[in-house]
Amino acid sequence: MLEIENLSAFYGQGQALRDVSLHIKAGEVVTLVGRNGAGKTTLLRSVMGLHTDIRGEITLDGHRLTGLPTHARARRGLGYVPDDRGVYASLSVAETLRLPLIVGKGGWSVERVFDAFPQLAERRNSPGSKLSGGEQQMLAMARVLRMGARLLLCDEPTEGLSPLLVTQIGDIIKAAKDDGVTILLIEQNIHFAATVADRHYLLAEGSVAETFDNDQVRSRETELLEYLGI
């Protein structure tokens, strides 16, 4: 579904990505792991069109994305949950959920969102500025699921969340996958990653160093944790 070929990304004279190639099949959940500064967020932003100083090719379902503006990529089925969540401070939960453009048939209804995130149902009239970090993360994910995006890009959705909320985010990712949504996520919690993802790419200094399946993650857990500094 998503093909990235020889992607390099630059910030002025600095290079964040070096000839990255990866492929994701429809319906897969794939994680990017790596140390801080490895280029993970830059990769997601490049796919979404938010970082444009790049070289290489990005295609979605065989259609070239390289050069398309961000809104055109969203209309083609890309959804992005940034690491800062991007929740509007003055809009209520209910207003935020009514905001997204519906780009696909599989978009979640507001009722389904509230069933999946009961905390959001309880806070439906609360502005984004009054939500906890966990509630903001739920709202950021729910907003994209409302769109009916076919490929969901998530930047560390479990960072800073309690174990209970991490489990809930995992359940949402699995439900989205069951709906046929393809997911590429940055995730440092390799225990969590192994419960939701099919495959894992390890980025090191802007390049793909290795790929793992879940059995390899489990067998090399100590080594990976030491490398990631967790």
88 is a domain residue? no
pLDDT higher than threshold 80 for residue 57? yes
Range of the domain at 56: 2-81+148-228
Domain count, the chain: 1
123 is a domain residue? no
24 is a domain residue? yes
216 is a domain residue? yes
137 is a domain residue? no
Percent of the chain with pLDDT over 90: 65
Average pLDDT, the chain: 91
DSSP string over the chain: -EEEEEEEEEETTEEEEEEEEEEE-TT-EEEEE--TTSSHHHHHHHHHTS---EEEEEEETTEE-TT--HHHHHHTTEEEE-TT----SSSBHHHHHH-SPP-STTPPPHHHHHHH-HHHHHTTTSBGGGS-HHHHHHHHHHHHHHHT-SEEEEE-TTTT--HHHHHHHHHHHHHHHHTT-EEEEE-S-HHHHHHH-SEEEEEETTEEEEEEEHHHHHHTHHHHHHHHT-
- Mean pLDDT for 106-131 is 91
pLDDT (0 to 100) of residue 130: 93
pLDDT (0 to 100) of residue 227: 83
- Mean pLDDT for 114-141 is 92
CATH number, domain containing residue 47: 3.40.50.300
109 is a domain residue? no
122 is a domain residue? no
pLDDT higher than threshold 70 for residue 230? no
pLDDT single digits (tens) 158-198: 888 888 889 989 999 999 999 899 999 998 888 889 999 99
pLDDT single digits (tens) 20-40: 999 999 999 999 999 888 999
pLDDT single digits (tens) 197-226: 999 999 999 999 999 999 998 888 888 888
